[in-house]
Amino acid sequence: MSKKVRFAIVGTGVIAPLHAESIIKNPLTELVAVCDIIEEKAQAFADKYGVEHVYKYYEDMFKRGDIDVVCVCTPSGNHGEVTIAAAEAGIHVLCEKPIEITDEKLTAMIDACRKHGVKLGGIFQRRTLPAAIKTREAIQSGKLGKMVLGDAYLKYYRSPEYYKSAGWRGTWELDGGGALMNQGIHGIDLITWMMGDVHSVVAKCGTLVRDIEVEDTAVAIVKYKNGAYGVIQGTTSVYPGLDTRFEVHGELGTVIFDDHGFKTWKFLGGEEEVPEVEGYVTSASDPAALSLSGHYIQIDDMAKAVLEDREPMVPGEEARKAVDLILAIYESSKTGKEIILG
């Protein structure tokens, strides 16, 4: 391995600049190659970030032999095939959310990485938020006592033009879902990271406003394995789009926070000063308006995972949990039944 961890990027769409900027700003990493099926996009991206090697097909790029990690930033339904090809070439993978959109593809890509001895990490940058970290610590330490409720409110606005801007958006084949699978998945990962795994779910999903195949609105009632209940609301159809909001309640306290920090931090038996934490640049109305910090932390972590031969911050098996829950929500809405998760 070279002195720096050598990264490549497949897919140069909306999210790819966060990967590129994180890589080139990190002293541990360098960006050596980029790939996009649209050659003009790949070349423009490479020119912007000073990358010499540009490819149309990832299969050709993976033959280079000097790539340590590939960032997979293609449409969601292509993540598995790119990941499997990378694994077969001995390349570690850092994959955008959702890491895949079906149970079969999730299992295949995780198995391929395990078989070929490469690391698979998923991007869930909201786990790096100070408010989420402090909330999780409070729950795990027993500060809230027995948990009662854990709710996530994920209300985005995506215009009709957004869905028309790329043919794969809003389709089952490549987007894998809508308000939950594409936008809400970050919040679903976060609430379950804080509250713990889900035992079962009952849900309703619908396409209420947008002219798309997938859901633009969904509501789910979950039962966590710790016995608590929760509500997940997700939509891409409310103007102007709101901060994501998380509420966790236990017998001994309540914590509520949104993209700008804590709103409530109260515990039985005494007043505590509300912790001051850094906020988050929200993408509630603009999918491109995301903070760089979370991606930088995960790129840095992936590089160190390779150098230290350890698991990345969000291993593939962990990254699939939010997808598994979303798929269960879709199944519940379709069948009208409570779905028990494994």
Single out the residue of 193, 181, 223, 180 nearest to residue 131, CA to CA: 193
**Which tokens sit at 204?**
């309703």
Residues ≥6 apart with Cβ < 8 Å to 3: none
Residue with tokens 């897919």: 11
Backbone angles phi, psi at 289, to 5 degrees: -90, 70
Backbone angles phi, psi at 205, to 5 degrees: -130, 145
Contact of 212 with 235, CB cutoff 8 Å: no
pLDDT of residue 3: 84
pLDDT of residue 196: 98
User: Per this entry, what is the length of the chain?
Assistant: 342
Contact of 327 with 103, CB cutoff 8 Å: yes
Residues of the chain with pLDDT under 50: none
> What structural domains does the chain harbor?
5-122 (3.40.50.720), 126-286+322-340 (3.30.360.10)
pLDDT of residue 285: 59
Residues ≥6 apart with Cβ < 8 Å to 286: none
**Which tokens sit at 162?**
């957004």
What tens digit of pLDDT does each residue of 70-115 get? 999 999 999 999 999 999 999 999 999 999 999 999 999 999 999 9
pLDDT of residue 96: 98
DSSP-assigned beta bridge partners for residue 221: 202, 231
Contact of 149 with 230, CB cutoff 8 Å: yes
Contact of 265 with 139, CB cutoff 8 Å: no
What tens digit of pLDDT does each residue of 39-58 get? 999 999 999 999 999 999 99
